[in-house]
A and B are shown apart, each in its own frame.
Chain A
């Protein structure tokens, strides 16, 4: 099973990278760009066919390493 984990900044946390990219895009002439958010994706292959088990494990991975709960949210999408 494959888990895609999306790590995003929480609402209200300034996204310095997103802001810098937005500025550069607008300088390049993309004047319609209103907001850019930086999102990190991990694609994790897990040795299990059990969806619940995979979800539980990946959640724990997020809690223990992949996300800092002070500034980040995570979203998990499981694929066969």
Chain B
């Protein structure tokens, strides 16, 4: 697939607020990207020129923000709405290998939706959530830089060397990974699904404040078993540019996420 052919949808509903910078990151790299309201996928009150199908796109991003006001639990309402109107399409989309990214609130949505940890390739969305992203151990909104060690590759980190440490900022109140039992963590490790873990300046798996939310095993981001659905609490789009982290380089640490998925789409579709 040629660069100009790639189309990326950044999903928005009331309360999402990181769609602009996410769209701009993709656009800067030469692909078509747009913020799409969930209603554009199903409502017949939308004018025809703005109606969309998930299959108009090659990549879906659920951006950061506070979708539906974080009511009930962060991500719960958007995931319920996705389930009711897009579930079948989304399952096909994931099964066919198209990439899906959830950043921060988007990660919470993918978890509530049952698309992550995503152990079953044939049934990429589970009936019930298999993990939770719940209130930070500090019981506060944690907003600051975080250091992440790249543990395993997925389609959104293919171009990043293993073991590399990157800085993406976090900004969330509900990011603590909790599993129902140890078996889930074991499977994630075994399947190489843990993509990023929080570390300190020396690259060690450290506690608070390096692990900003108290996540089990210092987990910051995971992918599904196939590696094409990826969710993380920190924000790569906020360090897309070098100047956003005080560097002279054009691109910041976060750009690799966008470059990787574009590279994957170019090579595989």
In the complex, whether A68 has a CB less than 8 A from a CB of chain B is: yes
Is B178 in contact with A13, judged by CB distance below 8 angstroms?
yes
In the complex, whether B206 has a CB less than 8 A from a CB of chain A is: no
- Find A70's partner among B72, B80, B139, B178 (CB 8 Å cutoff): B178
Is A19 in contact with B180, judged by CB distance below 8 angstroms?
no
Is A70 in contact with B179, judged by CB distance below 8 angstroms?
yes
Contacts of A69 in B (CB 8 A): 128-129, 180
Interface size, chain B (Cβ < 8 Å): 22
Main secondary structure of the interface of A (DSSP, over half): helix
Is B129 in contact with A68, judged by CB distance below 8 angstroms?
yes
In the complex, whether A60 has a CB less than 8 A from a CB of chain B is: no
Is A65 in contact with B80, judged by CB distance below 8 angstroms?
yes
Is B180 in contact with A70, judged by CB distance below 8 angstroms?
yes
Is A70 in contact with B137, judged by CB distance below 8 angstroms?
no
Residue interface bits A19-35, CB-to-B below 8 A is 1, else 0: 11000000000000000
Is B129 in contact with A64, judged by CB distance below 8 angstroms?
no
Which residues of B line the A interface, CB within 8 A?
Answer: 72-73, 76-77, 80, 112, 128-132, 134-139, 176, 178-180, 214
* Complex A-B, nearest 5 residue pairs according to Cβ-Cβ distance, in ascending order: A20-B139, A16-B139, A16-B135, A70-B132, A71-B132
